[in-house]
Amino acid sequence: MQRYAAFLRGMNLGGRRIKNEELKREFEELGLSDVSCFRASGNVIFATEEKGEERLRRRIEAGLGESLGYAVPVFLRNAAELGAIAARSPFEAAVVSASKGKLQVAFLSAAPRNDARKRALALASDEDRLSIDGRELYWLPGGGISESELDLKTIEAAVGPWTMRTKGTVDQVSAKLT
């Protein structure tokens, strides 16, 4: 049985509200097992014997879209992948500890092509450090996210859709997944 973390985009924003108990039930109704939710921001841990991550992702998106009435982009990572992300330190420890911001992890659908990667990383600065590793973009803002002048829409246009979590949340989900 393979264990996954699903990071859902756009949950509990605006007029959309779903409680963890409801979200857990939605995943169970899709035939997934050992389901648990972490925080109220669309982090779902589950197990399945189903093969094919892309097919599984599409099935979850379709099921949630049908039951909730709106599109829910899903970013899946298996236990090994999430463990590697949690272990990754994309910036020097001294730089991270000196920052007033929290390290962010943006989960991408696919690893960006080299030209897209270059366009995104060109927007980095000493105040907003960026790194890309595989299907993850790491962002270390110099302060609060809302204070940043980083053009997130331009970056997303280059690398594709994403959902973002703090590295601390990623570490905690990874610990629960294993």
Cα–Cα dist 56/21, whole Å: 21
First and final C-alpha spacing in the chain: 13
Helix (H) or strand (E) holding 75: strand 74-78
pTM score above 0.75: yes
Confidence class for position 15, pLDDT limits 50, 70, 90? confident
pLDDT in tens, 74-115: 999 999 999 999 999 999 999 999 999 999 999 999 999 999
Q: Is residue 6 helix, strand or coil?
A: strand
Strand partners, 104: 139, 166
Q: Are 82 and 44 in contact (CB under 8 A)?
A: no
Distance of CA 34 to the CA centre of its chain: 20
Torsion angle in degrees (nearest 10) through CA of 168, 8, 22, 70: 150
Cα–Cα dist 153/160, whole Å: 10
pLDDT in tens, 108-167: 999 999 999 999 999 999 999 999 999 999 999 999 999 999 999 999 999 999 999 999
Strand partners, 166: 104
Cα–Cα dist 95/77, whole Å: 27
Confidence class for position 16, pLDDT limits 50, 70, 90? confident
Q: Are 137 and 119 in contact (CB under 8 A)?
A: no
